[in-house]
């Protein structure tokens, strides 16, 4: 068996056998499969698909390409994953909130992919934070603090680590087969008792159409449960930025304001509570989603989640006083430029993907795999659908390193918004749920 023959079979629409998936994943991890071959494989999968057998086989093979964690803890081990969006910093709220509810959360996350932000890039905006501490440090922090937000090192699903980067630069990010295998290989390697998924739909999501988002949710839920991990998914809205900010340090700032109660973002809070409620049901900590959501609300309201977040940051090398001094600890951009509304009207449309791409071009994401993130740049004060604007009133505030980059971002953000004299219907935050019984 060799890479060339496996790629040819997938290219010709004949799927991926369990044996071929195991060989290719091992080759990705060992380096026997070249970057060119990995890119060709990703494109073949993107264009032809690999079927249910191939999806499950690739997921398990990438999981088994590295270490699979085993836990001996006093409570269930649960995680959450989002398929990616704009201003989506829910993970930073949810991990400590779940830990405050007696659940252990080894949140193995990824970096920005395409136009979407990455949880690891956000955490690395915190000075000193070690997002790649290794498996032993991960296990120690989870046991002592209750949660750890880290990246997959060479010890965790190394085959996925290679393929993840290849997808970003080869135009194959949107493949349901590859998304499923990528997400679940890392998650299943973490030795989870349960997993809740946040599948995004809308202009800022990889799945802009509801039917595609539902297909992805069903693929993820079916594959995870088939592999022995209790799993359900919520389909949430990404027709606009979830938070009022998009950009790494800016999103951390918004999270800290919500955790500490100084400026609560209700949309972030509500999606966090909904996902947390689902996770606590999977964990056996709550009878219903509503009961679980109330437990998450309590963890946030009482400051217990903020306390856990501070302990996690300190345990992973960040400032000991981060919760108390976060405005001083986070980097800020030197150039701030508002985006004036061209006319009066209600915000009726937001091209959230365009907002994400504007952040990437400011330096907040990667155009190629070797690009370095500038954590301070991005957008804040983003206007939302249904908001009434006066002429010249800011649609957003651009945070940039240079005036030229700021000017380009202003033009991109203005073009991303549609205004009308008629007030639109605001989109729901949660569109639906896919559980084990639905697949």
User: Residue 162 belongs to what domain range?
Assistant: 78-326+430-438
- Residues 138, 23 share a domain: no
In a domain, 41, yes or no: yes
- Residues 215, 94 share a domain: yes
- Residues 397, 363 share a domain: yes
Residue where a domain stops, chosen among 63, 94, 115:
63
CA separation for the pair 315, 309 (Å, rounded): 10
68 and 189 Cβ atoms separated by less than 8 Å? yes
- Residues 408, 351 share a domain: yes
- % of the chain surpassing 90 pLDDT: 83
pLDDT over threshold 90, residue 438: no
- Residues 281, 171 share a domain: yes
Return the CATH number at 359: 3.90.1170.30
Position 109 scores a pLDDT of 86
The whole-number average pLDDT for the span 251-278 is 96
Rg value, the chain, Cα: 21
Position 108 scores a pLDDT of 87
In a domain, 301, yes or no: yes
Return the CATH number at 18: 1.20.970.10
Q: What are phi and psi of 240, to 5 degrees?
A: -160, 170
pLDDT over threshold 80, residue 153: no
Position 84 scores a pLDDT of 86
Classify residue 438 by its DSSP letter. Answer: G
In a domain, 71, yes or no: no
In a domain, 142, yes or no: yes
pLDDT tens, residue by residue, 305-316: 999 999 999 999
- Residues 347, 307 share a domain: no
- Residues 135, 18 share a domain: no
Which tokens hold the place of 328? 């001083």
First to last CA, the chain: 33
Q: What confidence tier does 156 reach under pLDDT thresholds 50, 70, 90?
A: confident
- Residues 112, 31 share a domain: no
- Residues 164, 261 share a domain: yes
The whole-number average pLDDT for the span 77-102 is 95
In a domain, 281, yes or no: yes
Q: What confidence tier does 53 reach under pLDDT thresholds 50, 70, 90?
A: confident
In a domain, 345, yes or no: yes
152 and 161 Cβ atoms separated by less than 8 Å? yes
Position 371 scores a pLDDT of 79
Backbone φ/ψ region at 123: left (φ over 0), alpha (ψ -120 to 50), beta: alpha
Q: Work out how many domains the chain is built from and give that number.
A: 3
CA separation for the pair 82, 149 (Å, rounded): 14
The whole-number average pLDDT for the span 38-50 is 96
Residue where a domain stops, chosen among 14, 36, 63:
63
pLDDT tens, residue by residue, 345-371: 999 999 999 999 999 999 998 877 677
115 and 88 Cβ atoms separated by less than 8 Å? no
Matching residue, tokens 């057998």 = 53
The whole-number average pLDDT for the span 250-271 is 96
Q: What burial class does residue 430 get, using C-beta atoms within 10 Å of its C-beta: 0-12 exposed, 13-18 middle, 19+ buried?
A: middle
- Residues 215, 340 share a domain: no
- Residues 241, 128 share a domain: yes
Angle between helices 90-100 and 266-282 (to 10 degrees): 50
Three-class SS state of 317? coil
CA separation for the pair 396, 337 (Å, rounded): 9
- Residues 176, 135 share a domain: yes
pLDDT over threshold 80, residue 168: no
Catalytic residues: 79-82, 119, 167, 182, 186-187
Which tokens hold the place of 202? 């809308």
Beta bridge partners of 380: 397
């Amino acid at each position: 068996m060799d890479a060339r023959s496996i790629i040819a079979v997938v290219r010709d629409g004949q799927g991926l056998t369990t044996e071929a998936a195991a060989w290719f994943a091992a080759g990705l991890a060992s380096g026997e499969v070249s970057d060119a071959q990995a890119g060709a494989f990703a494109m073949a999968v993107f264009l032809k698909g690999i079927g249910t057998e191939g999806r499950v086989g690739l997921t398990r093979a990438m999981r088994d390409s590295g270490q699979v964690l085993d836990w001996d803890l006093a409570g269930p081990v649960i995680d959450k994953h989002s398929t990616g969006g704009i201003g989506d910093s829910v993970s930073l709220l949810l991990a400590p909130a779940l830990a405050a509810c007696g659940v252990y959360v080894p949140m193995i996350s990824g970096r920005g992919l395409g136009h979407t932000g990455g949880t690891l890039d956000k955490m690395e905006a915190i000075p000193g934070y070690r997002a790649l501490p290794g498996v032993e440090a991960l296990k120690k922090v989870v046991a002592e603090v209750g949660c750890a937000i880290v990246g997959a090192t060479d010890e965790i699903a190394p085959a996925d680590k290679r393929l993840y980067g290849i997808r970003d630069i080869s135009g194959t990010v949107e493949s349901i087969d590859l998304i499923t295998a990528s997400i679940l290989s890392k998650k299943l390697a973490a030795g989870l008792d349960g997993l809740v998924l946040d599948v995004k739909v809308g202009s800022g999501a990889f799945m802009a159409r509801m039917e595609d988002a539902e297909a992805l949710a069903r693929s993820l839920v079916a594959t995870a449960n088939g592999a022995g991990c209790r799993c359900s998914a919520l389909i949430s809205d990404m027709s606009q930025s979830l938070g009022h900010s998009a950009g790494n340090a800016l999103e951390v700032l918004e999270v800290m304001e919500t955790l500490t109660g100084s400026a609560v973002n209700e949309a972030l809070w509500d999606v966090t509570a909904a996902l947390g409620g689902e996770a606590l049901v999977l964990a056996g900590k709550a009878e219903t989603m509503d009961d679980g959501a109330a437990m998450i609300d309590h963890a946030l309201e009482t400051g217990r989640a903020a306390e856990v977040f501070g302990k996690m940051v300190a345990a992973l090398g960040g400032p000991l006083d981060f919760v108390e001094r976060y405005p001083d600890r986070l980097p800020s951009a030197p150039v701030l430029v508002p985006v004036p509304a061209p006319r009066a009207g209600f915000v009726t449309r937001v091209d959230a993907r365009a907002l994400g791409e504007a952040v990437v071009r400011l330096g907040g994401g990667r155009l190629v795999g070797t690009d370095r993130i500038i954590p301070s740049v991005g957008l804040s004060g983003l206007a939302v659908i249904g908001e009434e604007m006066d002429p010249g009133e800011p649609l957003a505030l651009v945070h940039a390193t240079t005036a030229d980059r700021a000017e380009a971002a202003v033009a991109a953000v203005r073009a991303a918004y549609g205004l009308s004299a008629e007030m639109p219907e605001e989109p729901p935050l949660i569109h639906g749920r896919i559980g084990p019984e639905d697949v």
